[in-house]
Structure formats: structure tokens, C-alpha cells
Amino acid sequence: MLHGFPEYSGAFFDLIPHLQDDFFCIAPDQRGYGQSWRPAKVADYAPSKLIADAAAVLNHFSPAKPIAAVLGHDWGAAVAYGLAFRHPERFARLMIANGVHPIPFQHALAAGGAQSEASQYIDWLRAEGSEEKLCANDHARLLGLFSDQMDMSWMTAEKRGAYQAAWGDARQLRGMVNWYRASSLKVASPGVPLTAEDLPNLPAEMLRVAMPHLLLWGENDTALLPESYEGLSELCEDLTQRSIAGADHWLLHQKPGEVAEQIRAFLRQA
């Protein structure tokens, strides 16, 4: 189970109780987050290194045989897709919850439309000094990013305290925003599409998903819009898509029981 920004392994604490009786669930803090290693250099957050971290976790817990599935949410989806591209022999099924494949996402980011507008925060986070701004005033700006047009009724005072402890100070937050700085994805300004020459090389033949793939989507997500996964089916051999009504980007907290039901149904197909 691979979390994204601005979470930590706690992203899955509401979901795991619905699955733990039948599945051995592994939810690490990824590089730069929580109790994990937080190198300061942007180069240490290159996608290849993030994918290698996750592959090492798989090899540690199941060195002799593939595991049942990998689940990625938000930035965790980028690592989960990377595992599917580079290490498909290590797990049987790919599950993504409100996360994106790099090709359709880059297309949406480059178009200058709604997804470009929704993703303007990416360049703000990439700017030097964003970590200081995120931790100022008891993480007020970071909490604002978390809750922008989202249902945060699941965020109890206890959970908020746990998140703030995981975020720490600006030095610790630097690792989190370095994921954005190390990414090659380009974001267009609203109404100003990027040209093909502006975009990173993303060869489709190397970024196909051959294993069975489940995409779960909280319908009310305002950070990642439906256009961010348009064309995904053309890159997958066996794609199942399921919408979660009444949920947004934080569906793992808002609808953990329903998410777990969809996961069980998908894994029963094996």
C-alpha cells in the first residue's frame, strides 16, 4: 500500500481494518515521509529510486514468490505503476485509487484545460522555499492544500495531530515536496497548451500494464479530474474501473468499507 502527498502510511489506517482479517497489509512510509529516510537532494527522489524502494519492500516481505497486489493512491500510484512497468514479476495485480498513469496525466496537464488549472499548485510546490511556507503557522498552508474543495469530515483532531507529527518542520517537509521537484511532468498554464516539444518522452510501449488492473475513483475529486485518466484503457491489457460515489480524493478515509469491498471483489477474480 503506497501513499501519496501529503500523507504517510496513515493514509491506509482507515482501510486496513476492513482487510486485515484476510490479507497481510504492508503500508510503509515512502522516502521523504513520516519515519522514512528524508534525503535533502532532489536527485534522491528520482522515480527510479522511489520504485527501487518499493521493490525492496516487496523483496523483503516476499522474496520467493509474487505478492497478491500493490495498491497506490495519489503519488503512491506513480510508484505502483512504476513497479508494474519495471517489476511485473513481483506481484499479480495492480490497484490504483485516485491516482494517475503518467501518459494520460501528462496529456491532461499539457492541454491547458481544467486539469492544468487544477494542477497549478504543482509548480508552487516545486518552487524553492515552499516547504517553509507549508509548515508556517502550524502547517496552515499544508492543511489548506489537503482540504481544498474536499470533504474533510474524516479528519479528527487525533488524526490531524498524527499528520502534523509526521510532517514535522521545513527540513522534513523538503523530502515531500522533492517528489514534485524530481518529476519530469510539465504543467501548462490555463488556456496555454504545451507543445509536443515541451513534453518529456513517455514511450507507450514501455509504459503498458500487462497484469489485471483495478482503478478506483472517488467521483468528487477536484485535484485529479476524469480527464487525467482518459485513454488509460488503451495502455492496459485488463482494466477494471469502479467509481465510488460520495467520495473525493480522500476516498480511502471517506469510504473505506466500499473501497475494501471493491478490492475483495477484484482479488477474488484471481
233, 222 in Cβ contact below 8 A? no
185 belongs to a structural domain? yes
Residues contacting 257, CB < 8 A, separation 6+: 18
* pLDDT surpassing 90 at residue 270: no
List beta partners, residue 154. none
Q: What's the CA gap between 2 and 5, in Å, rounded?
A: 11
CATH number of the domain where residue 166 is located: 3.40.50.1820
Report pLDDT digits (tens) over 252-268: 999 999 999 999 999 99
pLDDT value at position 35?
A: 96
197 belongs to a structural domain? yes
3 belongs to a structural domain? no
pLDDT value at position 253?
A: 99
226 belongs to a structural domain? yes
Give φ, ψ of 70 to 5 degrees.
-120, 135
131 belongs to a structural domain? yes
* Backbone dihedral region for residue 161 (phi beyond 0: left; psi -120 to 50: alpha; all else: beta): alpha
4 belongs to a structural domain? no
List beta partners, residue 244. 218
46, 182 in Cβ contact below 8 A? yes
Question: Which set of grid coordinates corresponds to residue 170?
Answer: 521545513
63 belongs to a structural domain? yes
25 belongs to a structural domain? yes
pLDDT value at position 265?
A: 98
Q: What's the CA gap between 191 and 111, in Å, rounded?
A: 8
Q: What residue numbers bound the domain in which 110 lies?
A: 9-268
pTM value is 0.97
Q: Number of folded domains in the chain?
A: 1
Q: What's the CA gap between 166 and 176, in Å, rounded?
A: 11
Name the residue among 246, 231, 235, 211 with its Cα closest to residue 111: 231
